Amino acid sequence: MTAAPAHTPDQSGVAAPVAPGALGVPVQAGEAQTYLNALRLWVAQRRADLGEVDRALLRLSPAEQSSITTDLTVALTFWKAVSDRLTLLETTFDGGRVGPKEAERLSTLIHGRLDSNTSEHLSLPSSGSLAVSLPEACRLLDSLTRTLQARASLAPGAAEASQRITVARAGVERIRDQVPLVPVGAQRDAAADKLARLDRRIEDLLSRARRGADVGGVIGPLEIDIAVLERDLIVAAAERASAARSRVRTQQQIEELDARAAAIRALERSCVEAITPAPHLAIPNVRALGPVPQAAAELAAYRDRLERVSRALDLAHERYAAGLAERDEVVGLAGALSAMAAAAAVPAELEPDLTDLRRRLDETLAQTPLPLVRARALAAAYQSYLDVATRSTPRPQKGRP
């Protein structure tokens, strides 16, 4: 597949090139070269277009400037992100030295998420943070540029009425292609209704043009509405894709938490059987949260609840593991003390007391579940008595010459 500019050109005569391949499909050297050449020209043209819009603002009133400046800033942010990604693509392409790894990296750079160097995510004023691919960002920038040109009342040399009508019709057709991608329901109905109104306005525009009427005052608002709707549909598609990825990650997190919960329940049973008193903490059932929701707001709340479940599992794991670790510590201490007692010279008068303490400690350690407080107290008493007994043993004196 060879990348080539396939979108209908806008007022500047240059449209974003079609990206080769898809995410995960390696991009071959020939495809990459064609795409990069076209993308390089498009990036340069878009920068010139935005510069012209910026200069045109000086001719507008302060109120008009204020209403356009925000969108111009957004457009420049998208342009910068695309330009930065183009630099990475050209570095990876390296003049055509593209091996299998480079081909995969090119695919990821083209179809993976596009981030801005100046902000964590690209964003639009109406939608906030937005993760989009390079082709989506290019289409959004095309749409933003057309809107800005129309609002700034720019009339490039090629933007005569007939060409502007052609561009407007092409925009409507792109919208028509996107409407079926909207999920069935109120959103698709609203998009279809807006598309129908645009169709009627296009027909009215064509009718006026055929009669020789001046369409300059009609086509400008139409261009803006087409660009805005196309942009909104692209943004919505990107948000749906992002939400779908988030749902997949959430489902994976549910499976992981469910497996952890099962393991911690087994740890709980082991702890309750091994020691007394044992910790008693509720181990949440992640499945009780229900299926992963579809709506973005509900999904965010669902992920917050999952985070609370994760923290509860962390706490339960810590407490039950600590109980078993304390049991092992007491048993280990008792073994070490036995070895010390066997190696030490204990006075005969203290031997019965030490033996009695050891017997009581052994009896306690043999109980199931192990009374942890009693075992630790007996081990401490045994250790203290053993220390006293070994310190009280008289040292052998050297013989006199």
- Give the number of domains in the chain: 3
Same domain membership, residue 267 and residue 140: no
pLDDT in tens, the chain (401 residues): 444 444 545 555 577 899 998 888 899 999 999 999 999 999 999 999 999 888 888 777 777 778 788 888 889 999 999 999 999 999 999 888 889 898 998 999 998 887 644 444 455 555 445 568 899 889 889 888 888 887 776 544 334 577 778 888 889 999 999 999 898 899 899 999 999 999 999 998 888 876 666 677 788 899 899 999 999 999 888 888 888 889 999 999 999 999 999 999 999 999 999 999 999 999 999 999 999 998 888 999 999 999 999 999 999 999 999 999 999 999 999 999 989 888 888 788 888 888 899 999 999 999 999 999 999 999 999 999 888 888 865 555 444 44
Other residues' Cβ atoms within 10 Å of the Cβ of residue 221: 12
**What is the residue type of 78?**
F
Same domain membership, residue 258 and residue 139: no
Same domain membership, residue 293 and residue 145: no
Residue 20 lies in a domain: yes
Residue 245 lies in a domain: no
Residue 398 lies in a domain: no
**Contact call for residues 207 and 95 (beta carbons, < 8 A):** no
Residue 62 lies in a domain: yes
Same domain membership, residue 385 and residue 280: no
Other residues' Cβ atoms within 10 Å of the Cβ of residue 276: 16
Domain that holds residue 386: 344-391
Please say which residue of 290, 323, 356 terminates a domain.
323
Same domain membership, residue 385 and residue 288: no
Same domain membership, residue 316 and residue 377: no
Same domain membership, residue 144 and residue 9: yes
Same domain membership, residue 374 and residue 261: no
∠ CA 354-351-371, nearest 5°, is: 15
The strand ranges marked E within 169-240 are none
What is the rounded radius of gyration, in angstroms, for the C-alpha atoms of the chain? 37
This prediction has a pTM of 0.54
